């Protein structure tokens, strides 16, 4: 199935009928967890993750095959001087991804994950959201559909990441549209703004919010987002249709994902927060989304880097659950 969405209404309708987790598989996994050769609860968060994954992948889930997709887009709002790096870096970094020189390339190698890079019309930046919607409906749907199409059913777990100079500004605007607050509440340093730069960025976000009041969900993605943000949202929904768990990366990925819960509160039930980013608004955003990150290592790179870093943790959780011996199998005495 390709390019399934030709209107925002069609996308919203899809969000209203997402598949649910399999409660029976979770119960079976919980029962299995209780007889594995370890004190009850001794694997902590790993046990919770494995039981959660069973709801999407069955009683003994696995995560050998991991797909990482990095979407790239350019942002008209960079005209407002809200990034420490020039806009041409987006395309330069895409070339770096393609030749294997970026952080995400090394992280995918370590994690044994397959990397796809999807540049989205880089030569045509989105509109400056302080003066117009970043994207029209057709443009936004093209990006959503590109995200949907990029997800392969052949994997056990998905990471979506992004590259786009200026996109922490879009993400902060989306977070404010979703959860309230002003530009100053959500603007961070991005790739390295100083305090004056962050103040300018906050004002730009406020201008965007004033220009597009009351927007939410997929319409917010179009008005304040960007192609790579819409693509991540499309990929996350496609993964849900395929019952493939998603590890959410940092602030930008989380902000794109948060737009989905404005339309369907359970839209991210198949997602875990891979890490807490150092980027200003991320802790607040995860809290608003009721997500607890697996890692907290002060990363703030994007590219899917924090989620790719968490892949081996996720895989380890599932491997322990699915492959450990039970007390009975191993002839180990239980708690006295």
Residue 137: which residues within 8 A CB-CB, separation 6 or more? 7, 8, 222
Q: Between residue 72 and residue 101, which ones bind its own copies under the rule CB under 8 A?
A: 84-86, 88-89, 92-93, 95-96, 99, 101
CB of 302 to its own copies, least distance (A): 8
Are 95 and 49 spatial neighbours (Cβ–Cβ below 8 Å)? Answer: no
Instruction: Give the range of 68-76, 109-117, 207-215, 255-263 binding its own copies by CB under 8 A.
Output: 109-117
Closer residue to its own copies (CB): 102 or 236? 102
Question: Does the annotation count 48 as an active-site position?
Answer: no
Distance between CA atoms of residues 276 and 289, nearest Å: 13
Closer residue to its own copies (CB): 167 or 305? 305
Angle between helices 103-111 and 305-323 (to 10 degrees): 10
Distance between CA atoms of residues 306 and 251, nearest Å: 10
Based on the shown chain and the rule CB under 8 A, indicate whether residue 283 belongs to the binding site for its own copies.
no
Question: Which one of 213, 214, 265, 331 is in contact with its own copies (CB under 8 A)?
Answer: 331
Instruction: Return the ∠ at Cα 324 (arms to 322 and 328), rounded to 5°.
Output: 120
DSSP for 9-27 reads HHHHHHHTTPPPP-HHHHH
Active-site residue (options: 137, 138, 303, 334): 303
Kindly state the number of chain residues that form the binding site for its own copies, as judged by CB under 8 A. 60
Based on the shown chain and the rule CB under 8 A, indicate whether residue 265 belongs to the binding site for its own copies.
no
Q: Is the dihedral of CA 193, 199, 204, 210 positive or negative?
A: positive
Residues that bind its own copies in the complex, under the rule CB under 8 A? 36-46, 84-86, 88-89, 92-93, 95-96, 99, 101-103, 105-107, 109-111, 191-192, 278, 294-301, 305, 309, 312-313, 315-316, 319-320, 323-325, 329-336
């Amino acid at each position: 199935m390709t390019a399934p969405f030709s209107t925002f209404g069609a996308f919203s309708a899809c969000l209203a009928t997402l598949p649910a987790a399999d409660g029976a598989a979770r119960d079976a996994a919980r029962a299995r967890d209780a007889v594995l050769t370890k004190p009850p609860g001794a694997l902590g968060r790993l046990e919770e993750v494995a039981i959660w994954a069973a709801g999407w992948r069955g009683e003994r889930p696995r995560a050998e095959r991991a797909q990482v997709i990095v979407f790239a887009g350019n942002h008209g709002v960079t005209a407002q001087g809200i990034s420490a790096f020039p806009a041409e870096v987006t395309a330069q970094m895409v070339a770096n991804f393609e030749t294997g020189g970026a952080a995400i390339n090394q992280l995918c190698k370590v994690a044994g994950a397959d990397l796809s890079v999807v540049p989205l019309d880089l030569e045509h930046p989105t509109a400056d959201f302080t003066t117009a919607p970043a994207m029209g409906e057709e443009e936004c749907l093209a990006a959503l559909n590109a995200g949907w199409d990029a997800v392969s059913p052949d994997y056990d777990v998905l990471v979506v990441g992004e590259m786009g100079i200026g996109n922490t500004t879009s993400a902060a605007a989306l977070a404010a549209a979703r959860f309230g607050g002003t530009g100053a509440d959500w603007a961070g340093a991005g790739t390295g703004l100083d305090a004056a730069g962050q103040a300018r960025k906050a004002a730009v976000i406020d201008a965007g919010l004033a220009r597009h009041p009351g927007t939410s969900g997929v319409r917010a993605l179009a008005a304040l987002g960007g192609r790579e943000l819409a693509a991540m949202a499309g990929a996350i929904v496609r993964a849900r249709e395929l019952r493939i768990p998603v590890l959410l990366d940092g602030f930008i990925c989380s902000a794109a994902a948060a737009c989905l819960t404005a339309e369907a509160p359970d839209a991210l039930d198949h997602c875990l927060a891979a890490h807490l980013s150092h980027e200003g608004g991320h802790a607040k955003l995860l809290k608003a989304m009721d997500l607890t990150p697996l890692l907290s290592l002060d990363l703030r790179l994007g590219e899917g880097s924090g989620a790719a870093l968490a892949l081996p943790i996720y895989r380890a959780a599932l491997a322990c659950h699915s492959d450990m011996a039970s007390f009975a199998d191993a002839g180990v005495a239980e708690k006295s």
